[in-house]
Amino acid sequence: MAEALDRISERLDRRSEPTGHLGALDERATAPLQRSMRLTPVAPVAPVANDVRPAPDPRIERACAAIAARPAEPWTVAKLARIAGLSRAAFARRFAAEVGVPPLRHVAATRMRLAAELLAATDASLAEVAAEVGYATEFALSRAFRRLAGEPPGVYRHRIRVAARPPAPRCLAA
């Protein structure tokens, strides 16, 4: 499955024209999506002496945790700002600085990653997957998935399952 998600990320890398109902997905916007779709574990990197990073903002972490816990929720910047205990403008500004993309793009990336995981690991119908990840209809999910992954969800599911299937045993009958 990690290989398939890497292929989706590669397709996102090759896209030359920005698209999407949430606004143009420029390089800064797609990078976190690409990182979040890679599921291969990475060995932790030891901190370098001069590598000083500010501590993550706990208010932004609360909002990210809420998105991860309830991706199907109809999130708005106002709802997320309430969870973080900030005004909408302050939340949007801090979230983008901390995470690298605006809040609703992060929501969309989280939903798409979860949809890819569900398509690969379950037999759930597209309508069930759409409901699970927060899309109103299977058509809305299909359109968004095709835009980001470069192929329809059904084709993605079939390709992932064929790739994961062990090779058929060879018969050596004479």
Per-residue pLDDT tens listing for the chain (174 residues): 555 555 555 554 454 344 443 344 344 444 444 444 443 333 333 344 444 455 689 999 999 999 999 999 999 999 999 999 999 999 999 999 999 999 999 999 999 999 999 999 999 999 999 999 999 999 999 999 998 888 999 999 999 888 877 766 666 555
119 is a domain residue: yes
Residue 174 lies in a domain: no
What CATH number is attached to the domain comprising 18?
1.10.10.60
| Token representation of residue 124 | 């759930």
- Cα dist. 79→6, 39, 75, 84, 88 in Å? 32, 28, 6, 9, 9
3-state SS string for 97-143? HHHCCCHHHHHHHHHHHHHHHHHHHCCCCHHHHHHHHCCCCHHHHHH
Please indicate, yes or no, if residue 44 is contained in any of the structural domains: no
3-class SS of residue 66: helix
Report yes or no on 81 lying in a domain: yes
Look at residues 64, 13, 55 and name the one whose alpha carbon lies nearest to residue 38.
13
**Helix 126-133, helix 153-164: angle, nearest 10:** 100
Q: Is residue 61 part of a domain?
A: yes
Q: Give the residue from 113, 118, 126, 129 showing the smallest Cα distance to 161.
A: 118
- Give the sign of the dihedral formed by CA 113, CA 129, CA 103, CA 156: positive
Q: Which residues lie closer than 8 Å to 103 by C-beta, 6 or more apart?
A: 63, 75, 77, 80, 91, 92, 95, 96
Instruction: Report if residue 79 sits inside a domain.
Output: yes
Instruction: Name the domain count of the chain.
Output: 1
Query: What does the pLDDT read at residue 162?
Result: 86
51 within a domain of the structure (yes/no): no
* 49, part of any domain: no
Q: Which domain holds residue 64?
A: 2-39+56-164
What is the structure's pLDDT at 163?
84
Measured CA angle at 22 (ends 75, 86), to 5 deg: 40
Whether residue 60 contacts residue 95, with contact meaning beta carbons closer than 8 Å, is answered with: yes
* pLDDT at residue 107, rounded to an integer: 94
